[in-house]
Amino acid sequence: MSILLPTSAAFDGSPTPRPAATFPRPRRDAAAFAKRLAQAGPRAIIAAAARAMPGRLAVVSSFGTESAVLLKFVADVDPSLPILFLDTQWLFKETLAYRDALVVHLRLTDVRTVTPSPSALALRDPKRNLCFRDREACCGIRKVAPLANELSAFDGWISGRKRYHGGERATLVVAEADGPRIKFNPLARMTRAELNAAFAAAELPRHPLEALGFSSVGCIPCTGRPAAGASVRGGRWGGLAKTECGIHAGPLPPSAN
Ligand code: SF4
């Protein structure tokens, strides 16, 4: 792992970060990032992360209903940043079309579609019904393990989570340790009103399912319309205690590669 920790000046736009000391030390470095970037805007956070770990930073996006805003900020900073898209093979065709449209709209040049291991699917989900029997296991082989494998090539990653989603996200910090990596949450402080304003300001296209009442979109079997008054993610895994797919539940497992 090689991270270039920026000085305070670098967070303000200085192009020259100082060399890293001894690594890995993601917990300590994440705390430093979180402190220095606590009041920074999304673009500044993304830029600081990209400067700190050149070539070793990825963005993870579901290309869901809110994703365009993070991707716009990423495109403003560096449209060649790798963007990892987890195709669980249970996605709506509208999401795949939206991904393709945003790639063109934002001129993103390195969107990588990550799929589950065929051998894991053959072994654990040969009848394609694991999501109806054991959702944790299904998310494990279709999301968590593929992402862990893909992120083994990176020192840090960027998520689009926000505090206003509530639940475990209500206390999100701008940067946090994630096993041997640092996870950045540049939209942590963004409100729903600010998100909508960002959509309007940049004239970003909306996910096609949003107009049909889906405020958050994931896999077909685990996505529904939220009940009246429910949170933005209230339609995900409806009726179950599950609220997260597992990629944010703690350090990702070691790569199987
Ligand atoms: Fe499987 Fe549902 Fe998780 Fe998608 S969200 S990986 S279908 S359990």
Cα–ligand 1 centroid distance for 124 (angstroms): 13
- Convert 185-197 to b/e letters by CB count within 10 Å (16 or more is b): bbbbbbeeeebee
Q: What is the mean pLDDT of residues 19-24?
A: 46
Is residue 5 very low, low, confident or very high in pLDDT (cuts 50, 70, 90)?
Answer: low
Cα–ligand 1 centroid distance for 231 (angstroms): 19
State residue 11's pLDDT score.
Answer: 39
State residue 6's pLDDT score.
Answer: 46
Average pLDDT, the chain: 87
Tokens of 140: 């494990």
DSSP state of 193: H
Q: How far apart are the first and last CA of the chain?
A: 16
Report pTM: 0.88
Q: Nearest CA to 245 among 144, 173, 172?
A: 144
State residue 14's pLDDT score.
Answer: 36
The answer to whether the beta carbons of residues 87 and 98 sit under 8 Å apart is no
The answer to whether the beta carbons of residues 222 and 236 sit under 8 Å apart is yes
**236 Cα nearest atom in ligand 1:** 5
For 54, how many CA atoms within 13 A lie in the half-sphere containing its CB?
A: 9
Non-local CB neighbours of 244 within 8 Å, separated by 6+ positions: 167, 168
Q: Nearest CA to 159 among 97, 67, 91?
A: 67
C-beta 217 within 6 A of ligand 1: no
Tokens of 234: 């209230």
The protein residue whose alpha carbon is closest to atom 2 in ligand 1 is 222
C-beta 88 within 6 A of ligand 1: yes
C-beta 185 within 6 A of ligand 1: no
The protein residue whose alpha carbon is closest to atom 3 in ligand 1 is 139
C-beta 245 within 6 A of ligand 1: yes
Cα–ligand 1 centroid distance for 182 (angstroms): 25
Cα–ligand 1 centroid distance for 131 (angstroms): 6
Burial class of residue 24, CB neighbours in 10 A (0-12, 13-18, 19+): middle
- Per-residue pLDDT tens for 49-106? 999 999 999 999 999 999 999 999 999 999 999 999 999 999 999 999 999 999 999 9
Residues 106, 245: Cα–Cα separation, whole Å: 27
Ligand 1, residues 121, 138, 242: which to mutate, most atoms within 8 A of Cβ?
Answer: 138
Residue 138 is a catalytic residue: no
Q: What angle do CA 151, 157, 163 make, to 5 degrees?
A: 135
- Per-residue pLDDT tens for 132-156? 999 999 999 999 999 999 999 999 9
Backbone angles phi, psi at 162, to 5 degrees: -135, 150
C-beta 90 within 6 A of ligand 1: yes
